[in-house]
Amino acid sequence: MKRILLLISLGLLWIVPNYVSAQNQSNRTYGFLDATNSARVAALGGTLVPVNDGDIQLALFNPSLISADMHNKLALSYVDYFVDINFATIQYARSFEKTGNFAAAVQYHNYGSFDYADEAGERTGTFTAADYAFILGWGRQLDSNFSIGANAKFVASQYESYHAIAMAVDVAGSYQTNTGWLISLTARNIGTELKSLIPDNKSDLPFSMQLGVSKRLDHVPFRFMVVYDQLQKWDLTYEDPLDLEGNIDPITGVRNDKKGLEKFSDQLMRHLIVGGEFYIGKNLVLRGSYNYKRRQEMKIPDKLGMVGFSWGVGIRISRFQINYSRSTYHVVGSPNYLSISTNLSDFSR
As a residue count, the chain comes to: 349
* Predicted confidence (pLDDT) at residue 12 exceeds the cutoff of 80: no
- Looking at the domain assignment, is residue 305 inside a domain? no
How far apart are alpha carbons 225 and 51 in whole angstroms? 8
- Looking at the domain assignment, is residue 41 inside a domain? yes
Question: Given this model, what pLDDT does residue 130 score?
Answer: 94
Which residues constitute the domain of residue 166? Answer: 2-236
Please list the residues that pair with 291 across neighbouring strands: 273
Number of domains in the chain: 1
Write phi, then psi, for 194 (nearest 5 degrees): -100, -30
Question: Given this model, what pLDDT does residue 129 score?
Answer: 92
Stronger pLDDT, 155 or 29, i.e. the higher one = 155
- Amino acid, res. 213: V
Question: Given this model, what pLDDT does residue 246 score?
Answer: 62
- Looking at the domain assignment, is residue 72 inside a domain? yes
* Predicted confidence (pLDDT) at residue 19 exceeds the cutoff of 50: no
How far apart are alpha carbons 134 and 166 in whole angstroms? 11
How far apart are alpha carbons 255 and 122 in whole angstroms? 44
* Predicted confidence (pLDDT) at residue 13 exceeds the cutoff of 60: no
Neighbours of 144 (CB within 10 A): 8
User: DSSP string spanning 325-349?
Assistant: EEE-SBTTB--EEEEEEEEGGGG--
Confidence category of residue 263, pLDDT binned at 50, 70, 90: confident
Confidence category of residue 7, pLDDT binned at 50, 70, 90: very low
Confidence category of residue 237, pLDDT binned at 50, 70, 90: confident
* Predicted confidence (pLDDT) at residue 207 exceeds the cutoff of 50: yes
- Looking at the domain assignment, is residue 257 inside a domain? no
Confidence category of residue 198, pLDDT binned at 50, 70, 90: confident
- Looking at the domain assignment, is residue 42 inside a domain? yes
48-105 pLDDT, tens per residue?
A: 999 999 999 999 999 999 999 999 999 999 999 887 889 999 999 999 988 889 999 9
* Predicted confidence (pLDDT) at residue 204 exceeds the cutoff of 80: yes
* Predicted confidence (pLDDT) at residue 173 exceeds the cutoff of 60: yes
How far apart are alpha carbons 217 and 7 in whole angstroms? 29
Exposed e or buried b for every residue in 195-213, given b needs 16+ CB within 10 A?
ebbeeeebbbbbbbbbbbe
Q: Tell me what the pLDDT averaged over the chain comes to.
A: 87
* Predicted confidence (pLDDT) at residue 24 exceeds the cutoff of 50: no
- Looking at the domain assignment, is residue 112 inside a domain? yes
* Predicted confidence (pLDDT) at residue 286 exceeds the cutoff of 60: yes
Stronger pLDDT, 295 or 331, i.e. the higher one = 295
- Looking at the domain assignment, is residue 173 inside a domain? yes
- Looking at the domain assignment, is residue 156 inside a domain? yes
Contact residues for 123 (Cβ-Cβ < 8 A; gap 6+): 115, 116, 117
* Predicted confidence (pLDDT) at residue 114 exceeds the cutoff of 80: yes
How far apart are alpha carbons 69 and 94 in whole angstroms? 9
Contact residues for 230 (Cβ-Cβ < 8 A; gap 6+): 208, 209, 210, 236, 271
* Predicted confidence (pLDDT) at residue 309 exceeds the cutoff of 60: yes
